[in-house]
A and B are shown apart, each in its own frame.
Chain A
Amino acid sequence: METKKTGIYLCQCGGNISNTVDLPKVTEHLKKNNDDILVQEYSHMCSGKGQQLIIDDVKKHGLKKIVVASCSPHFHEKTFRGALKKAGLNPYVLEIANLREHCSWIHKDIPEIATEKAKDIVDASHSKAELDFALQEKKMQLGNEILVIGGGIAGIQTSLDLADSGKKVTLVEKLPTLGGMMAVLTKTFPTEDCAACIISPKMAAVTDHPNITLYTNAEILDIAGHRLHFEAKVKIHPRYIKSDIDMDQCLICNKCTEVCPVSQPNYWEQGVIDRKAIYIPAPHAIPYRYILDTENCSHFIDNSCSKCVDICPQQAIDFTQEEKIVDVAVDSVVVATGYDIFDAMRKPVFGYGKFKNVVTALEMERIVDHISEAEPPRKIGKRIAFVQCVGSRDEQIGNEYCSRVCCMYSVKLASLLKQAKPEKDIYIFYTDLRAFGKGYEEYYKRAQNMGIKFVRGKPSHFVENKINKKVTVTVEDTLSRNIIESDFDLVVLANGLEPNKASEIVADTLKLAKSDDGFFKEAHPKYKPVDTLVEGVFLAGVAQGPKDIPDTVTQASAAAARVIATLAQKEVPIDPILAFVHQDICDGCQKCLNACPPKAISINADGKAEVNEALCLGCGSCLESCPVEALDLHYYTNEQLYAEVSAALKFKKDNEKRIIVFADDNTTYRLIDACGVRKMKYTNYARVFRVPSVSRITPSLIEYAFAKGADAVFLGDSPVKASRFEWANAVTRKNMEVVAEKLKKLNIETDRLIFSQFEAKDLMKFISEINKLAELIDKLGSLSDEQKAKLER
């Protein structure tokens, strides 16, 4: 059988490609211009049969390199790398030519031009493939350590599941007790079992578990690292009480609290009951320990009081305690940062904070919790209104989403109230009553059956009576079309859920993406609902989006299971696409040493530069620092990119225009893919090449592209806040300046060179910018041969 060096496979993609691109013509073109190749056209290369075709050909023809011209590498690069492995080839001698997203889908209406473009794309991939060489995937060992951020029901459930499976968990909670929002609730819907009774045993189990280290009153300062290896800095705030580890331990005799003269609203009572400056947060607090509120303690304000210190029989109060910073190294992180309730002051028309008898639903949880006491801390009158959708489904304040729990918690609070005090006259004003969970509709019906009145209308106006402090609510009953203008003794606002503001630091430091609603974005809403786009970081609970307790617990367990499944691999391959040094070229000038922020470059015993593969992130930002092109990037070597660019421009005719686009793999390349998926048309001048980051594109490469006939060069990368390589854009800008200088000298318009930053959603931005650039070069025309010659390497 005849041997061939390279196999090129043209995928029809069931017509997605072949209905637009004339693949036989592409085959003809390839065969005409190359000798040592095998070209095959097939309907579905990604299918088992398609992969087998490659495997068989490798055996039959002794192929050394493979090019698959099909969909985006983000769909099937992994698939084909697997096929190469099966065929006995190194998985990195594979190139994917993106004919579907970058060509056939966007140029449906211009099949002939699409076919020409397809030739360029395959030629470019082919020439790059010729220069591919085997790369060895090293393995990274996975450990057993997990950081769980947030000690609400989600974080607790994840921690317990992980700890029970033998993992070591560090659980960090911002507040001085575990329990999160659930620890504030009275009973839970629809079963009406008490929240504290459900969560307390779990909270206790956390402290008892040998596999869990708990830090309360603590916050995350920073999390460094990536890909299943993270190093977190945790700040533990002092409680100013000596713990049982210390010699003088607190006996919880409560004398300090009794003697403390300060009174402040207690968060765990939502201000319905006050607490002292030194206090135990809640009866079910875990850890059950005092904490000193330094913001309100007279000792800390003006040194005017030391009553607690004086009375403590154990001398357990220590004003000199300082915060501690703990370093935690982990393999995975679960973000369970929960939510804030919507601040009703942002809707002044509801009168919250201004009118005495307007309360939040969370305050109502506490009011209802105490309702049967002989002397309830907050008296409420007879007629009570619940107002739904406060801060949810309200575009005026920017929250389009439904908070999913408010309908049911209002039904619950109303039901509990009605059961305890049947004489109460309760109205729930709603727009749509959403009782979607198991047992919820039945629970709603029970409330109706108790005589709670559901009125369909969203209240518009609230006025407080100056004398009796009743609140007049004006609302249209949208079913009878009457305007209700009625007095209520109490108005309960069903506040929606918003992303926890304190989770911002976690978002920033882990580079977690957010959905439009501001909650953390899952890797995929359907098939990866608890993963994030950052490998090794998972989501649990409301941090990902509003949900009730059953859904939160379900998701928390799912997050634990995902962590367990991930770490059960024991080791994961390290992406071998890292920087390296051509030892024979390096002259030891050391200019690269400062070009690597993660400090992966050092000088070896031979006096030459060397890359530490454990530290290198593979961004390629360092390449431009090397005056002799000794620094290079695996799979995207200088030689390969020159070849790729040159091949893509080789058959450009004089009257044609080309834009060479370099796109960062993480955002811009995917965004260009997404334009294809949505069949959004843009200029056919573009030839797109992916790189880990466009900071890898050295000035000489850009100049080379112009020399070879590019009329414009477009660089797209992630903005700093979304980039794994925070330094990259600064490097790119510097490279751009270098090229711009050179262009200016040659009287070439610098507008031909563009560097732009994109977030995943910026499809329209990309299209408008690339089209504008196309219009510009139409106007400017091509470079002169003289100009091109001066830009040659």
Chain B
Amino acid sequence: MAKKIKFTDKTTKFLEKIMDLSGEQVTLCEQCGTCSGGCPFVEEMDINPSQIMRLVMLGQEEVMESQTMWLCASCYTCTIRCPRKLDLSKVSEALRQVKLREAVDNIDIAEIDAAEAVKLPTIALVGNFRKFTG
């Protein structure tokens, strides 16, 4: 069922907030799909990276509920291919930060199995906490 979109000051503000935080001019996206086609995580994503760009441009805050930004591991594959030289890694980071700054963590550290944690390289744990906790 199609959703109705109304453009308001709120939609514009959301776009501007993400553009500010990411430093990326999201309105430049021409929706060519290069990012989605090359994304190593796209099969796991509920919406594709190119859709994230679209929804941000349309100012749709529902994009925050998508898991896509949490799956993005800043591998920069899209970054080096975007024909408009947009850095989607930065847009994902901005979206994550919006959540994390509301003190909403994406993982519960207590749930990590202790035996597993010992085995893990330190850098994996540090990386994980920096991306998933505020």
Asked if A and B touch directly (CB within 8 angstroms), the answer is yes
Chain A residues with a Cβ under 8 A of chain B: 349, 389, 393-396, 431-432, 456-461, 474-478, 481, 483-484
**A-facing residues in B8-59 (Cβ within 8 Å):** 30-38, 42-43, 47-48, 50-51
B37 touches A460 (CB 8 A): yes
Residues of chain A contacted by B47 (CB below 8 angstroms): 481
Report how many residues on chain B are interfacial, defined by Cβ distance under 8 Å.
21
Partner of B48 from the list A431, A456, A476 (CB cut-off 8 Å) is: A476
Given the known interface contacts A483-B42, A483-B43, the answer about A477 and B33 at a Cβ–Cβ threshold of 8 Å is: yes
- B37 contacts which chain A residues (CB < 8 A)? 457-461, 474-476, 483-484
Query: Contact at A475–B85, with CB atoms within 8 Å?
Result: no
Q: Does B71 contact A (CB under 8 A)?
A: no
Q: B80 to chain A: which residues have CB within 8 Å?
A: 396
Taking CB atoms and an 8 Å cut-off, the chain B residues in 66-108 that contact chain A are 80-85
Listed A/B pairs (14) with beta-carbon separation below 8 Å: A456-B33, A458-B33, A460-B34, A460-B35, A460-B36, A461-B38, A474-B37, A474-B38, A475-B33, A476-B34, A476-B48, A483-B42, A483-B48, A484-B37
A484 CA to B38 CA in the complex, in Å? 11
**Smallest CB separation, A460 vs chain B (Å):** 3
- Could you say which of A394, A396, A457, A458 has the most chain B C-beta atoms within 10 Å of its C-beta? A458
The interface residues of chain A lying within 8 Å CB-to-CB of B81 are 349, 396, 460
Residue of B nearest to A474 (CB): B37
Question: Are B32 and A457 closer than 8 Å at their CB atoms?
Answer: yes
How far is B37's CA from A475's CA once the two chains are assembled, in angstroms? Answer: 4
Please tell me if the beta carbons of B50 and A395 are within 8 angstroms of each other in the complex: no
- Which 5 A-B residue pairings sit nearest by Cβ, starting from the closest? A460-B37, A476-B33, A460-B38, A476-B36, A457-B33
Which of B32, B50, B84 has its CB near the most chain A CB atoms (within 10 A)?
Answer: B32
Interchain CA distance A349-B37 in the complex, whole Å: 13
Docked-complex contact A458 and B48, CB < 8 angstroms: no
Q: Which of A476, A477, A478, A481 neighbours the largest number of chain B CB atoms within 10 Å of its CB? A: A476
Known contacts A349-B81, A395-B83, A396-B80: A431-B30 contact under CB 8 Å: yes
**Roughly how many angstroms separate A483 CA and B35 CA in the complex, as a whole number?**
11
Closest A-chain residue to B43, C-beta based?
A: A483
Contacts A474-B37, A476-B50, A483-B42 given; does A431 touch B32 at CB 8 Å: yes
Do B50 and A478 have beta carbons less than 8 Å apart? Answer: yes
Q: How far is the CA of A394 from the CA of B33 in the complex (A)?
A: 13
Least Cβ–Cβ distance between B36 and chain A, in angstroms: 4
* Set of chain B residues within 8 Å of A394, measured between Cβ atoms: 83
The distance in angstroms between the C-alpha atoms of A396 and B82, with both chains bound, is 7
User: In the assembled complex, how far is the CB of residue A430 from the closest CB belonging to chain B, in whole angstroms?
Assistant: 9
Q: How many A-B residue pairs have CB under 8 A?
A: 69
**How far apart are the CA atoms of A476 and B32 in the complex, in Å?**
8
In the complex, which of the residues B35, B37, B82, B84 has the most CB atoms of chain A within 10 Å of its own CB atom? B37
Q: How far is it, in angstroms, between the C-alpha of A396 and the C-alpha of B86 when the chains are bound?
A: 10
**Most interface-central of B30, B48, B80, B83 (chain A CB within 10 A):** B83
Q: Find out whether the CB atom of B51 lies under 8 angstroms from the CB atom of A458.
A: no
B38 touches A478 (CB 8 A): no
State in angstroms the CA–CA spacing of A396 and B36 once bound together: 17
**Contact at A396–B85, with CB atoms within 8 Å?**
yes
Kindly provide the distance from the CB of B34 to the nearest chain A CB, expressed in whole angstroms. Answer: 5
User: Can you name the residue of chain B whose Cβ is closest to the Cβ of A388?
Assistant: B32
Give A468 to B69 CA distance when docked, in angstroms: 37
B79: nearest chain-A partner, CB-CB: A396
With A and B bound together, what is the CA distance between A396 and B35 in angstroms?
Answer: 13
Closest to A349 in B: B81
Instruction: Verify A481–B51 contact, CB threshold 8 A.
Output: yes
> Which residues from chain B contact A457 at a C-beta distance below 8 Å?
32-33, 37
Chain B nearest CB, measured from A616 CB (Å) = 49
Q: Flag if B43 contacts A458 (CB, 8 Å).
A: no
Nearest to A432 among chain B residues (CB) is B30
The smallest beta-carbon distance between A317 and chain B, in angstroms, is 50
* B37 CB to nearest A CB, Å: 3
Bound CA span A393–B30, Å: 10
Q: Shortest distance in angstroms between A352's beta carbon and chain B's nearest beta carbon? A: 16
The residue on B at minimum CB distance from A458 is B32
Set of chain A residues within 8 Å of B50, measured between Cβ atoms: 476, 478, 481
- Across the interface, do A458 and B42 meet the contact criterion of CB distance under 8 Å? no
Shortest beta-carbon distance from A164 to chain B in Å? 44
State whether A481 touches B85 (Cβ < 8 A). Answer: no
A484 to B50, CA, bound (A): 14
Of the listed residues B38, B48, B80, B82, the one surrounded by the most CB atoms of chain A closer than 10 A to its CB is B38
Q: How far is the CB of B40 from the nearest CB of chain A, in Å?
A: 10
Are B82 and A478 in contact (CB-based, < 8 A)?
A: no
Cβ-closest chain B residue relative to A392: B83
Contacts of A432 in B (CB 8 A): 30
Q: A475 to B47, alpha carbons, bound, how many Å?
A: 15
> Which A residues lie within 8 Å of B43 (CB)?
483
**Which of chain A's residues have a CB closer than 8 A to the CB of B31?**
431, 478
**Alpha-carbon distance between A461 and B32 when the two chains are bound, in angstroms:** 13
The docked-state distance in angstroms from the alpha carbon of A569 to that of B60 is 64
Chain A residues whose CB sits within 8 angstroms of the CB of B85 once the complex forms? 395-396
Known: A457-B33, A460-B81, A478-B50. 20 other contacts (CB 8 A): A389-B83, A394-B83, A395-B83, A396-B80, A396-B81, A396-B83, A396-B85, A431-B30, A456-B33, A458-B33, A458-B83, A460-B34, A460-B35, A460-B37, A475-B37, A476-B37, A477-B33, A478-B36, A483-B36, A483-B43
Q: Nearest residue in A to B51 (C-beta to C-beta)?
A: A481
